[in-house]
């Protein structure tokens, strides 16, 4: 039988004769039953990692568990939860949790944890009362022993406060054990072992479990304070980042928060207890943008943040599209009109072509973009728009050619242009008068 067993002399409590022990138990239960209403949750984290049960033995002449069945063995005074997969499953890590809130009384760790025979090499009776890697917790009304755990898995220290459902270690087969299992043993404050199960063949009533569950099944996981059980991390996860087998991602789980990060360039395993690292993607073209963000890692002129030249059909800044060139806004027309007007005044003064030409150039893209803004925009832009045109005319018609500089937009410019036309006509009249025409 692969079941775990503790011998009668595995600890100091078991060798006592059966009848006095039962009498003591009944007395203890009378004292504690009233305040012993269900307080324990199942002492393991898993739902289906337990496949066999060995309860407290109440039989006098034959074994008898709490429900009058035989799922126990002679003189066993705890509840054994046998691990599915036996010793082969120890290394997968199967959490043992505190069955209730409490304070850690003592712990032991460091014993060989793949025992198959009680009293064998490294699995002798002398190892910590036969429970070897163990946690002993004061849960208030009761204490509880959690025994035979996995080497190096004990996560709590004496004096430490634990919450109901908190992971305290993992299932193993250390000490006096024939196979991987958890030995859970509630005790009275004086150290007498108590069967937590209520049943026809158990003196315990009511059950010490909050939700006892069926015979050969696990008790419920809810804790007595009404709070949901603390979140648990899946088996096989760790608190440090750990690469997956394919080295394509890394994963960690802390307090039930299970996270995965992709490692597209590979994952590098580090020493135990240290975060595994995602490899940095390469920077093929040396432009300081690595391959995972560089849209062309073979061209150093192309990377996020680069200046994108518009209209060349190349997406230099990795924005997803080539930059759009700015079309001349409405003001471009104004610039052109300014040029034409200035040209017109120039024509009246006898040097038309240059002023007009300049005006047209200023209004045309791409340079005209600035000129055009001037046409729409106001004083400063207006001077820009008129700038090119204005220079053509000042010598000949200073008052008119310079006038756009003082304008404050298209309306002002048109008004000034009109005034110029009037002035020119007047000059022409004067000229005619002088000539006597």
Give me the residues that bind Zn ion (CB under 5 A), please. Answer: 6, 78, 80, 183
**Least gap, CB of 177 to Zn ion (angstroms):** 8
**Least gap, CB of 14 to Zn ion (angstroms):** 10
**Least gap, CB of 280 to Zn ion (angstroms):** 51
**Using the 8-state DSSP alphabet, how is residue 86 labeled?**
G
First and final C-alpha spacing in the chain: 138
Do the Cβ atoms of 404 and 390 come closer than 8 Å? yes
Q: Which of 235, 229, 423, 231 is nearest to 345 (CA)?
A: 423
Residue closer to Zn ion (CB basis): 87 or 289: 87
Gap between the Cα atoms of 127 and 319, Å rounded: 67
Position of minimal CB gap to Zn ion: 183
CA–chain centroid gap for 51, Å, is 34
**Least gap, CB of 78 to Zn ion (angstroms):** 4
| 169's tokens | 């270690």
Residue closer to Zn ion (CB basis): 56 or 241: 56
Do the Cβ atoms of 168 and 156 come closer than 8 Å? yes
Residue closer to Zn ion (CB basis): 8 or 260: 8
**Least gap, CB of 140 to Zn ion (angstroms):** 23
Gap between the Cα atoms of 188 and 165, Å rounded: 21
**Least gap, CB of 185 to Zn ion (angstroms):** 7
| 265's tokens | 């360039």
Gap between the Cα atoms of 185 and 25, Å rounded: 14
Residue closer to Zn ion (CB basis): 130 or 382: 130
Residue closer to Zn ion (CB basis): 149 or 278: 149
Residue 118, sorted as left (phi over 0), alpha (psi -120 to 50) or beta, turns out to be: beta
Residue closer to Zn ion (CB basis): 80 or 109: 80
């Amino acid at each position: 039988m692969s079941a775990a067993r503790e011998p009668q002399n595995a600890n100091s409590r078991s060798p006592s004769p059966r009848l006095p022990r039962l009498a003591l138990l009944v007395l203890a239960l009378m004292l504690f039953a009233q305040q012993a209403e269900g307080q324990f949750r199942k002492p393991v984290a898993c739902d289906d990692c337990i496949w066999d049960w060995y309860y407290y033995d109440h039989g006098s002449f034959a074994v008898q568990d709490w429900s009058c069945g035989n799922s126990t063995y002679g003189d066993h005074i705890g509840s054994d939860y046998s691990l599915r997969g036996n010793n082969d499953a120890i290394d997968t890590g199967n959490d043992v949790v505190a069955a209730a809130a409490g304070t850690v009384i003592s712990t032991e760790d460091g014993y060989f944890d793949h025992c198959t025979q009680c009293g064998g090499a490294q699995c002798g009776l002398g190892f910590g009362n036969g429970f070897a890697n163990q946690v002993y917790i004061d849960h208030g009304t009761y204490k509880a022993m959690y025994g035979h755990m996995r080497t190096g898995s004990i996560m709590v220290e004496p004096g430490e406060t634990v919450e109901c459902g908190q992971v305290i270690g993992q299932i193993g087969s250390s000490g006096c054990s024939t196979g991987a299992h958890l030995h859970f043993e509630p005790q009275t404050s004086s150290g007498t072992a108590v069967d937590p199960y209520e049943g026809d063949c158990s003196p315990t009533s009511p059950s010490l479990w909050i939700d006892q569950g069926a015979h050969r099944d696990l008790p419920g996981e809810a804790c007595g304070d009404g709070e949901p059980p603390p979140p648990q991390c899946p088996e096989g996860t760790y608190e440090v980042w750990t690469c997956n087998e394919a080295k394509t991602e890394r994963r960690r789980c802390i307090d039930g928060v299970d996270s995965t990060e992709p490692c597209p360039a590979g994952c590098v395993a580090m020493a135990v207890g240290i975060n595994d690292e995602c490899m940095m993607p390469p920077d093929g073209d040396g432009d300081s943008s690595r391959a995972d963000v560089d849209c062309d890692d073979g061209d150093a002129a192309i990377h996020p943040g680069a200046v994108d030249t518009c209209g060349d059909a190349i997406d230099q800044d990795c924005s997803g599209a080539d930059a759009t060139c700015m079309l001349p806004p409405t003001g471009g027309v104004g610039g052109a009109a300014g040029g034409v007007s200035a040209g017109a005044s120039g024509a009246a003064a006898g040097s038309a072509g240059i002023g007009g030409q300049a005006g047209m150039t200023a209004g045309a893209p791409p340079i005209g973009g600035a000129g055009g803004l001037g046409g729409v925009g106001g004083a400063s832009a207006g001077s820009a728009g008129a700038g090119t045109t204005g220079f053509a005319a000042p010598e000949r018609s200073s008052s008119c050619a310079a006038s756009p500089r003082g304008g404050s937009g298209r309306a002002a410019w048109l008004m000034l242009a009109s005034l110029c036309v009037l002035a020119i006509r007047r000059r022409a009249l004067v000229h005619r008068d002088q000539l006597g025409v």
